[in-house]
Structure 1
Amino acid sequence: MSFDTKILKVNPETVVFKIGEDLPTITDPDTERNLQIAANELKNTSNVVGFPTETVYGLGGSALNDESVKSIYRAKNRPADNPLIVHVSSIDQLKRKLLPKDYIIPSIYSSLLEKMWPGPLTILLPVHEDSILSKLVTAGQDTFAVRLPSHPIARALIALSDTPIAAPSANSSTRPSPTLASHVYHDLNTKIPYILDGGSCNVGLESTVVDGLSHPPMLLRPGGISLEEIRRVGGPEWVNIILAKKVAGKNEAVRTPGMKYRHYSPSAPVILFLNCSDGEVAINNYIKKRDIADCKFALLRTRSFIPAKEISKTIIAERELGTTGGEISRNLFKMLREVDELGVDLIFVEGVDEIDEGLAIMNRLSKAAFETIIKSD
């Protein structure tokens, strides 16, 4: 099915959730109208819509409707064994729609949810026998991943439709995740009916996914909340949290997105440099040894690399990702897309240490990279 994809402007600053109220107060008529259009699409059809979250733009469809979930996989060209995260607008909605009556969320999550919901944290819960959750969301597994986003547009869309929304990133599968509505349009134009444009995402990387059902608990995917923060806020049970392996085997079932298949990659191959001082020797050796001096290159640098003009005249595009973890997270996907659209042949990226936000940044970069250079030749 082909759509005349429409971008609907919404203003996050005009949407407020008051304490104790499930529905938002929306002061801008255009924002309210456009949110209702998207909510009605989710309630009354099996189509899906693009919408902003604090992490990246999501591609949302009803998590209770097999046909809606199929629409997500179809629009993204996503492998069907790659599970989806469910988004809810409140803990009350989670309990009403997805959990059995009188079910108590495991206490291991209590401190995390108190401090980090709404926010970029996803937890695993068991799928119960009478669950109305689509089995396509979980790829047939016995757990589901769920989060409560803090972005007012995301929460409002879910609340107005009163529908838990399955939502991966709103991009073509394997591409860098979208942090602007224009990124969604670039990848999914004609494939979805609506994109809610709420501006740029302020986190820039997907949510952190934790499994408190396993012993010890496990970090399945690093993201918008750091491992250090999970340990600090989660309490004694999270001090010994372990990291899942970065990439699952070809035939291995996974409980969360991001553990399987190629991810986050622009069209031009990404060459990732680690511990390469100011970059000059490492990049010039790379170009010389591969005899590719006639190619066009882009450089994304962080904390140590010198400016592109001081490294090589063949670097035609340069972006500063930032020096703090937050800056680099916000800029990474956006700038990968920017330089890729310039038609470069290779994208050189300076890596960072895997501490605090760096763990999530390097998780994405290592999966995007065609090749990794660990030190100067």
Structure 2
Amino acid sequence: MSTHNLFDTKVLRVKPESIKFPPNSFLDGSLPIISDPETEAALREAARIIRDTDDTVAFPTETVYGLGGSSLNDNSVLNIYKAKNRPSDNPLISHISSIDQLNRKIYGDTNVNPSELLKHIPKSYHCLIKTLWPGPLTILLPVPPQSTNTLSKLTTADQPTFAVRIPSNPVARALIALSDTPIAAPSANASTRPSPTLASHVYHDLQGRIPLILDGGACKVGVESTVVDGLCTPPLLLRPGGFTYEEIKNIGGEFWENCKVESTKSVKANEKVRTPGMKYKHYAPSAKVVLLLPSEDKNKEKKLLNFTQLFTKEVNDNPAVKKIAILTTKYLDNIKDSELENSKNYDLIINTLGYSGEEIQANLFAALRQVDEIDKVDLIFVEGIPEEDEGLAVMNRLRKAAANNSIKF
């Protein structure tokens, strides 16, 4: 990554709790009321950058921090790719603040009857979005006809569909509403790195490459949005994320009962992908990551014994390793340094990711960044969890972070 700094990156603190939206604003586009003057000033400055320039802004969503530019502006989208060092054939999600904004700004439809507000959204999605929007759910929609389409081809990677969602984080929603611009926003990290869940993660990766970071505190969900395709039959879960596969099936109505999970493990170099996160190396720390896959065996003592043997072999095979992190979930939570052979020969950090799926998901990226960027370890062991509920999204990210370097234990 180039060290050439283009910007003196500003970090402006905003208070999410000072932003209040009227109940139907995600439908009709009514604006938020912001009680904190500093938050409002920061949001208006960020909105001006999005609306009136080609530059980008980093901002918190409920999932991870996003790096946003106008979905309608080729140069803004190019600047997102440039700041992240990201391949430009990876499509971007467009974030909107309301269905009204989708109709006006993307479909160029300014006279939509209130009773037809969802006219540009296929019926297959109606049950899902009525319950899960605003929130971490991204849907695929057909790109509008050429005569009315305003989306940059760089946002869609020149495909017939585009990905869109309404975030529930008040800072994100207010920024999109105040700029009245659909915002294309991948995660605000350098490409291939773990996604950022704190403003400090964004600053670490993108300082000097973007003009502004809105600091709204920690992201609650901790992994990116769930991406679904309801334009095909049966429908597809393209990327597991903030809502679980089980929730999509239960809430989506009859059409989603047979929802399939996209199972492509790798994508060919020249293959187009319909959603972010399906191609290229992702979520990877600098250190080597070994993912421990849960086996059928639930015996804790046996698992500890298995792990100590794996640990010893890995360390013996890599004599250069001086500092090791173990990120635990269910079975390794009370492992002690003393149980690991040769533990005096290197520094050992043992951190828990949490016990519930929600906790593990929320802590995942921050924990990987902590041991990699701050503790500067050489090797990371991560204890995986079963691939159900939040586990599907957690393990999707961990397999990529480990570059499929995984062992059953």
Please indicate the TM-score interval, normalised by the length of the shorter structure: over 0.9
Q: Is residue 272–residue 350 contact of structure 1 (8 Å, CA) maintained in 2?
A: yes
Q: Is residue 75–residue 188 contact of structure 1 (8 Å, CA) maintained in 2?
A: yes
Question: For residues 221 and 64 of structure 2, what CA distance do their matches in structure 1 show?
Answer: 7
| More displaced stretch, 140-149 vs 290-299 | 290-299
Shift of 1:69: 0.4
CA distance 1:57–1:258, shift in 2 (3 Å): same
Are residue 188 (structure 1) and residue 206 (structure 2) matched?
yes
Shift of 1:373: 3.5
Counterpart code for 2:82: R
- Choose the corresponding residue for 1:360, options 377, 393, 397: 393
Unaligned runs of 5+ in 1: none
State the SS of the aligned residue for 1:113: helix
Shift of 1:95: 1.2
Question: Counterparts of 1:160-239 in structure 2 under 5 Å?
Answer: 160-239=178-257
Question: For residues 91 and 294 of structure 2, what CA distance do their matches in structure 1 show?
Answer: 34
Q: Is residue 18–residue 36 contact of structure 2 (8 Å, CA) maintained in 1?
A: yes
Are residue 337 (structure 1) and residue 369 (structure 2) matched?
yes
State the SS of the aligned residue for 1:220: strand
Partner of 1:59: 67
- Choose the corresponding residue for 2:280, options 239, 250, 261: 261
Question: For residues 88 and 321 of structure 2, what CA distance do their matches in structure 1 show?
Answer: 41
Counterpart code for 1:366: R
Q: Is residue 270–residue 371 contact of structure 1 (8 Å, CA) maintained in 2?
A: no
Partner of 2:309: 281
Partner of 1:298: 325
CA distance 1:330–1:149, shift in 2 (3 Å): same
Are residue 125 (structure 1) and residue 153 (structure 2) matched?
no
Q: Is residue 329–residue 355 contact of structure 2 (8 Å, CA) maintained in 1?
A: yes
Question: For residues 150 and 321 of structure 2, what CA distance do their matches in structure 1 show?
Answer: 57
Cα deviation, 1:260-305, whole Å, max 9, x if unaligned, reads: 00000011111111136233232223323x1537532111111111
Question: Cα RMSD over matched residues?
Answer: 1.5
Counterpart code for 1:10: V
Q: Is residue 107–residue 150 contact of structure 2 (8 Å, CA) maintained in 1?
A: no
Question: For residues 248 and 77 of structure 2, what CA distance do their matches in structure 1 show?
Answer: 30
- Choose the corresponding residue for 1:272, options 258, 280, 291: 291
State the SS of the aligned residue for 2:291: strand
- Choose the corresponding residue for 1:134, options 139, 152, 169: 152
Shift of 1:115: 0.5
Question: For residues 79 and 8 of structure 2, what CA distance do their matches in structure 1 show?
Answer: 16
- Choose the corresponding residue for 1:74, options 71, 79, 82: 82
State the SS of the aligned residue for 1:347: strand
Shift of 1:371: 5.1
State the SS of the aligned residue for 1:159: helix
Rg: which structure is higher?
Answer: 2
| More displaced stretch, 175-184 vs 310-319 | 310-319
Question: For residues 132 and 110 of structure 1, what CA distance do their matches in structure 2 show?
Answer: 24
Counterpart code for 2:72: L
Counterpart code for 2:372: D
Q: Is residue 140–residue 231 contact of structure 2 (8 Å, CA) maintained in 1?
A: yes
Counterpart code for 1:160: L
Question: Counterparts of 1:82-101 in structure 2 under 5 Å?
Answer: 82-99=90-107, 101=109
Question: For residues 293 and 60 of structure 1, what CA distance do their matches in structure 2 show?
Answer: 40
- Choose the corresponding residue for 1:8, options 2, 9, 12: 12
State the SS of the aligned residue for 2:408: coil
TM-score by length of 1: 0.96
Shift of 1:147: 0.3
State the SS of the aligned residue for 2:274: coil
TM-score by length of 2: 0.89
Q: Is residue 49–residue 59 contact of structure 1 (8 Å, CA) maintained in 2?
A: yes
Question: For residues 293 and 268 of structure 2, what CA distance do their matches in structure 1 show?
Answer: 25
Partner of 2:32: 24
| More displaced stretch, 339-348 vs 195-204 | 339-348
Question: For residues 139 and 89 of structure 2, what CA distance do their matches in structure 1 show?
Answer: 19
Q: Is residue 72–residue 182 contact of structure 2 (8 Å, CA) maintained in 1?
A: yes
CA distance 1:203–1:45, shift in 2 (3 Å): same
Cα deviation, 1:294-324, whole Å, max 9, x if unaligned, reads: 5321111111114251443235212100111
Shift of 1:370: 3.9
Give me the identity figure in percent. 58
Q: Is residue 117–residue 149 contact of structure 1 (8 Å, CA) maintained in 2?
A: yes
Q: Is residue 315–residue 321 contact of structure 2 (8 Å, CA) maintained in 1?
A: no
Q: Is residue 76–residue 170 contact of structure 1 (8 Å, CA) maintained in 2?
A: yes
Q: Is residue 321–residue 378 contact of structure 2 (8 Å, CA) maintained in 1?
A: no
Q: Is residue 17–residue 25 contact of structure 1 (8 Å, CA) maintained in 2?
A: yes
State the SS of the aligned residue for 1:3: coil
Shift of 1:231: 0.3
State the SS of the aligned residue for 2:405: strand
Partner of 1:42: 50
Count of aligned residue pairs for this structure pair: 375
CA distance 1:311–1:368, shift in 2 (3 Å): farther
CA distance 1:229–1:371, shift in 2 (3 Å): closer
State the SS of the aligned residue for 2:141: strand
Question: For residues 67 and 283 of structure 2, what CA distance do their matches in structure 1 show?
Answer: 16
Q: Is residue 249–residue 256 contact of structure 2 (8 Å, CA) maintained in 1?
A: yes
Counterpart code for 2:388: I
State the SS of the aligned residue for 2:164: strand
